[in-house]
Structure 1
Amino acid sequence: MSPQPQAAVGAPLSRVDGRLKVTGEARYAAEFDVDGAVHAVIVDASVGSGRITSIDTRAAEKHPGVLRVIHHRNAPKLPYRDNAGSNNPPGRRLRVFQDDRVLFHGQPVAVVVATTLEAAQHGASLVKVRYDAGQPSTDLHEADPGEPTRYARGDAEAGLRSSAVRLDLTYQLARNHHNPMEPHATTARWDGDRLTVWDKTQWVMGTRDELAAVFDLPADAVRVINPFVGGGFGSGLRCWPHTVVAAVAARVTGRPVKLVLTRRQMYFGTGFRPSYAYRLRLGSDRGGRLRAAVHDIDAETSSYETFTEAVMVAGQMLYSMPNVSQEYRQVPLDVNTPIWMRGPGLASASFAIESAMDELAHELGIDPIELRRRNEPSEDESNGLPWSTRRLSECYTVGAREFGWDRRNPEPRSTREGDWLIGLGMAAGVYDPGRFPAQARVRLDADGTAVVEAATSDMGPGTYTSQTQVAANALGLTMRTVTFRLGDSLYPPTSPHGGSATMASVGTAVVDACNKVRRQAIALAVGDEESPLYGVDADDVVVRGGRLHVQGDPARGETYRSLLARNDRSHLEGDGDYPGPGSTERHSYHAYNATFAEVAVDATLGLVRVRRMLGVYDAGRVISPKLADSQAIGGIVGGIGTALLEHTVTDHRDGRIVNAGLADYLVPVNADVPEVRAIYLDGEDNAGNALGVKGLGEVVQVGVAAAIGNAVFNATGRRVRQLPITAEALL
């Protein structure tokens, strides 16, 4: 079959939903006006561990406008069926208002429902809860870890003993919170035994299935709607307790209920990137060839669920070495359960691994890029599979040239501009993009327009736009004649919107559906005696701008509109499917980057300023360059936050998060963001999926913190192994 013209994919197009967002017409979870809706405010536990001994709700219930106060003594008992398929980690998930136990500071212990938000807020302040409090365990370094997950090849301890150069390094990574602009919110309404929720989520199907499990409903009795997400970064990848609270409140009161978490409540009402203690012992010969690595990794999780992420992947395959040993231990604490955050696992591991590679390069007197080149593997040594594509060496070459790496003085603290010490650093990054089953549906109408539907989300990467681009190409339509719909569990099911999986998974399903409809139209035309295409080989027909024509003979053809009208067809319809990568992988499939940073450090005050950054990406086919730049800038800015600013502080006396708000939890602002540039290597990765994409949204943050830390060392000669890198650490 002749290839379709590629008019939309690869074009730097503006967001199709941009006007809706800048004019305020895009509606987010808390902005849906549901008739008769009342407001709910959660009462949070003020202790970090223990039991509730009494709840005094009398003053709250007397307050004007308050309808109900719901807590464990009067709430309905909920079935909470097992539901491992909705991103719930192993363990026993939090069951709201089902018993008197307090598992972490901030746990929902009651909810006040009132006719106005103000009445609900004041009513919540009037609820008096007494506890039999225990001493919570919230310090990663003081608690006992669980049984480790292990990986080994060769004999790492023997390899270390025989190495000419050995490093023993421990890195500490602070807990990070997502802090999206849009707070988490849910509006819930019951119609008999059917539940509809408007919810901030990155997976409407997962939220649907979790609510069905909690309330013991058939899946089709729950509908989840979420057309827009105001940022997520992973925080919306599972259904959180407040969503269940909203549904409980709606059932008890018989009214639709709107519940919006405050910024403070988001620090314990949703998840976070867990803190890590990462010890890495590294051995090499004098030429810099790695002989062995031993990774000992401790990460926080909750006492009631065991959260894990892909923190072990990079240590197994990023560099060639015969001997590797890893132990990854979850440390159960009296905290709420963590969740994936941009570049999950790999962004954390990269700080340790890429900092250690820089330390080894300095120890050996080898350029950091050259050291990485000397340890470039020819295959994935964790499984013996060939790479689908791996162009990391090319990322190094392009990045070094474009960043001016040759101007770097390898001697730390040797470059100065007045009071500022100047340093350059770099790091490699890898991410294993997700590929999950997904479905899509397309309808081509008689007027020559098309509607495409899939139950995915758009938390900011531009799903509306990029999926419209792939659909427009596959159907041979212009962008303005294609409408993509998402964010509704009534649409064909898709995977979670995260893990760089959406384009590979949903995009492939969209292309499959659109190809089926285009082929239906072509078959209709070549079999229609009145069509100019009658009798033409179907494989020789392409579609451009809504017009079917013979490849190489644009004059011979007709439009979708004329074809469907003549055949008295109101529409053509097709369902698309992406089954996932299959049970047996034939290639190792990853996205890569090389990230470069230049920093200036005040020699007296220790203040760090990032002056410029460059990311070079091996991410397969780039569907939308404009959206790609947005992703790269966002990921680099997030990495600056991790490197220099972000740190969730817990008071270990009672488990309270001290800096639960944007006044005290620091994130990068415009003044912190330098000149940022992104370069994407041309090419496709067709071993991974039919679109040739790898995904970009996660890999752009991997390695950023390490690149900045390495630049700080080059500037100052001070190696900081704890994130964030603060001024006091450099004094």
Structure 2
Amino acid sequence: MSPQPQAAVGAPLSRVDGRLKVTGKATYAAEHDIKGVVHAVIVDSTIGRGRITGIDTRAALAQPGVIKVISHLNAPRLAYRGTENDWPDSKQLRIFQDDKVLFRGQPVAVVVATTLEAAEHAAHLVKVRYDAEKTSTDMATAPAGEPVNYARGDADKAYESAAVQVDATYQQARAHHNAMEPHATIARWDGDQLTLWDKTQWPMGTQKDVAAVFGIPNDSVRVISPFVGGGFGNAIRAWPHIAIAAVAARETGRPVKLVLSRRQLYFGVGYRPSYEYRVRLGSDRRGRVSAMVQHLKSETSTYENFIEGVLNTGQMVYNAPHVRQDHRTVPLDVNTPIWMRGPGYATAAFAIESAMDELAHELDIDPIELRRHNEPEEDPSNGLPFSTRRLRECYTVGAREFGWNRRDPKPRSTRDGDWLIGTGMAVGTYDVIRNGAQARVRLNADGTALIQSATSDMGPGTYTSQSQVAADALGLTMRNVTFQLGDSTMPTAPPHGGSQTMINIGSAVQDGCDKVRKQAIKLAVEDKDSPLYGVDAEDIVVRAGRLHVSDNPARGETYRQLLTRNNRTHLEVLGSWTPGQARHSMYTYGAIFAEVAVDASLGLVRVRRMLGVFDAGRIISPKLADSQALGGMVGGIGAALLEHTVTDHRDGRIVNANLADYMVPVNADIPDLRGIFLDGGEDLEADPIGVKGLGEIVYIGVAPAIANAVFHATGRRVRELPITAEALL
């Protein structure tokens, strides 16, 4: 069979939606022009726990333009039936269904008015009385729940008998996603049909969750989300404000727009929970790790138990024969956490990779060599062979390109004036998530193609990368391919998160486009008027919209000629991919190298340069991949040095619920960054197109690489993120 030419995949192409975004023509959730729309503003609770004893709406309702104020006193009873999307565990927050307050900032009412200004003003005039109870928001003083456990071997005995031991506890502060676009929803009812223009990373998930809230069929809800202005995980779930907008629209009989304020994003949607992570490592004098014991605590809400894949890394990243883990969540009077970039794996990497660095220092072994000593040949957690695992190559390439051999291993040994210079490295891993998907492919008689799937694009470039796969599979140029997404009426797609979109949607797109191309070839070889009549179908390829014999390009015809002659307006199929049972352990891998400078007098930390080397499967779009790498490193710098949420434990108020006080990296914080993706890494065990996903792995390992570099620079080990000047003084 002649291989189909590859012209788009692997080429450093610019984003197909780039012009729309830079000219302001891309339409985000709150920007859709819906006739007759009115505005809603949520009234938040001002206590951390208790009951509502009264709500006075008279002043608010007296304001010009105010249409309605809705609370538990006059809201409709909602179904809240269970759905397959009931994750995290337990019961989601039921809006306006009773007088209970479960956390500070919980929606207790919503004001609907003809203008945003009127709604905002009236919301401030709503007076809510409470019977407040003692609030519990401090994980250090609250009781933990039952643990999730994992064990192999006898880790405690192996640790106690180890020649060298490391016992350290690492802490990570709560972090918020803080995407550019705030969460927003426009809701409109047309009879029993609800349309939502929403910021979501999963249109079909939002559709199902909102249908469950109202007790209506899934197909009675349509979710539209063509563009998402950043998500990082917290737009995967349907948060309470979406149901509030829909309730307000139904109760007023008007389309309703609801946009969360920047302050409300800190308690209206999820966040990365805070963690306490104790690691005990035992090894021999040569650096062979025999035991890993890990004890974790993380915060969750009282009404849902949020658990993410934080234990996976410790089970498979190193070849320790004896491992024991327990993870306890701590229910607090807070809103529910959710996944954030590198969920679970980034948290685990900070603790494990810092502990490995401490062990390397204790043993006086190079940190890379320690990791090489403990590389497994198969997945130690399940005995499966790795589909690919090229961490050794990541180490070799990274050390060479970063100049690791110039490193003086002694801490606090290198200076540049007042600055202490240090280098560090860390490993990142992330699993390959395979859920399957569908994509509708339509090849038109004019030689253009339309591909649709109900996925999303929060920034990694889904429009572009899927168009590249489709262009090559159909043998078209990129300008003749249109990929559409962000509509729950399109074919089934999983969440746009967990680095799974390219794997699942891309495989479905490949399948659909292959089928359409083969339909066209079959039509040609059976058409007596075609120059390809009678040719073996296996010998035909398509390039630039023209079907031809692979070794005789002059013999062929275009899609346009073929379909027009056969009176076909189009060819169409539903492409799909369903993953089979995994026979291999499938992960992406990365080695992160960082150089920092620490002011010897002030304790200020500056990242000077960073390199990431990744084993991430086949790279569909090098330009997008490079963008992902840079963005992941920027986010990791934020996690390492800046980002943390401050809570007033007296009443649960988030003190720094704004972008002035919650620090994120800016241009001045970002040094020379570089990402390298290993060539020839396609993973056909993972999926038909050999990809693994990029969005998570480029973030995981950044924070511990920086923390390890800070230790190398200063000789002081900081075990809490973010690393502050106070910790170094």
Q: TM-score, normalised by structure 2?
A: 0.99
The Cα shift of 1:108 comes to 0.2
Distance 1:22 1:700 in 2: 25
1:241-640 alignment runs, 5 A limit: 241-579=240-578, 581-582=579-580, 584-640=581-637
Distance 1:90 1:602 in 2: 45
Q: Which amino acid aligns with 2:622?
A: P
Q: Which amino acid aligns with 1:690?
A: P
Deviation sequence 1:561-618 (CA, Å, 0-9, x none): 0000110100000111111x33x32000000000000000000000000000000000
List runs of 5+ in structure 2 lacking aligned partners.
Answer: none
Q: Which amino acid aligns with 2:258?
A: L
Distance 1:177 1:42 in 2: 20
1:120 paired with 2:115, answer no
Look up the SS of the partner of 1:343 in the other structure.
Answer: coil
Show the counterpart of 1:664.
661
Look up the SS of the partner of 2:89 in the other structure.
Answer: coil
Q: 2:38, 2:254 within 8 Å by CA — same for their partners in 1?
A: yes
Q: 1:184, 1:260 within 8 Å by CA — same for their partners in 2?
A: yes
1:175-254 alignment runs, 5 A limit: 175-254=174-253
Look up the SS of the partner of 1:69 in the other structure.
Answer: strand
The Cα shift of 1:260 comes to 0.1
Look up the SS of the partner of 2:562 in the other structure.
Answer: helix
Show the counterpart of 2:707.
709
Show the counterpart of 1:89.
88
Give the count of matched residue pairs. 728
Distance 1:113 1:86 in 2: 29
* 1:694 pairs with one of 668, 692, 695: 692
Distance 2:86 2:293 in 1: 30
- CA-atom RMSD in angstroms: 0.6
Q: 1:87, 1:237 within 8 Å by CA — same for their partners in 2?
A: no
Distance 2:31 2:669 in 1: 32
Q: 2:51, 2:101 within 8 Å by CA — same for their partners in 1?
A: yes
Distance 2:410 2:334 in 1: 44
1:94-113 alignment runs, 5 A limit: 94-113=93-112
Show the counterpart of 2:78.
78
Q: Which amino acid aligns with 2:678?
A: L
Deviation sequence 1:470-497 (CA, Å, 0-9, x none): 0001000000000000000110010000
1:678 paired with 2:641, answer no
Show the counterpart of 2:52.
52
Distance 2:87 2:312 in 1: 21
List runs of 5+ in structure 1 lacking aligned partners.
Answer: none
1:22-61 alignment runs, 5 A limit: 22-61=22-61
Q: Which amino acid aligns with 1:404?
A: G
Q: Which amino acid aligns with 1:702?
A: I
Distance 1:86 1:238 in 2: 9
Q: 2:174, 2:271 within 8 Å by CA — same for their partners in 1?
A: yes
Deviation sequence 1:346-398 (CA, Å, 0-9, x none): 00000000000000000000000000000000000100000000000100000
Give the fraction of aligned pairs with identical amino acids, expressed as a percent. 72
Distance 1:552 1:504 in 2: 32
The Cα shift of 1:92 comes to 1.2
Q: 1:385, 1:588 within 8 Å by CA — same for their partners in 2?
A: yes
Distance 1:705 1:524 in 2: 56
Look up the SS of the partner of 1:444 in the other structure.
Answer: strand
Q: 2:432, 2:686 within 8 Å by CA — same for their partners in 1?
A: no
Distance 1:363 1:633 in 2: 33
The Cα shift of 1:435 comes to 1.2
Show the counterpart of 2:652.
655
Q: 1:87, 1:238 within 8 Å by CA — same for their partners in 2?
A: no
Q: 2:170, 2:276 within 8 Å by CA — same for their partners in 1?
A: yes
Q: Which amino acid aligns with 2:712?
A: N
Look up the SS of the partner of 2:263 in the other structure.
Answer: coil
Look up the SS of the partner of 1:122 in the other structure.
Answer: helix
Distance 2:98 2:415 in 1: 62
The Cα shift of 1:87 comes to 5.5
Look up the SS of the partner of 2:636 in the other structure.
Answer: helix
Q: 1:638, 1:701 within 8 Å by CA — same for their partners in 2?
A: yes
Distance 1:409 1:639 in 2: 25
Q: Which amino acid aligns with 1:600?
A: A
The Cα shift of 1:437 comes to 2.1
Show the counterpart of 2:14.
14
Deviation sequence 1:92-139 (CA, Å, 0-9, x none): 110000000000000000000000000000000000001101111111
Q: 1:446, 1:561 within 8 Å by CA — same for their partners in 2?
A: yes
Q: 1:461, 1:627 within 8 Å by CA — same for their partners in 2?
A: yes
Look up the SS of the partner of 2:547 in the other structure.
Answer: strand
The Cα shift of 1:167 comes to 1.1
Distance 2:503 2:552 in 1: 33
Q: TM-score, normalised by structure 1?
A: 0.99
Q: 2:298, 2:329 within 8 Å by CA — same for their partners in 1?
A: yes
Q: 1:429, 1:702 within 8 Å by CA — same for their partners in 2?
A: yes
The Cα shift of 1:89 comes to 1.3
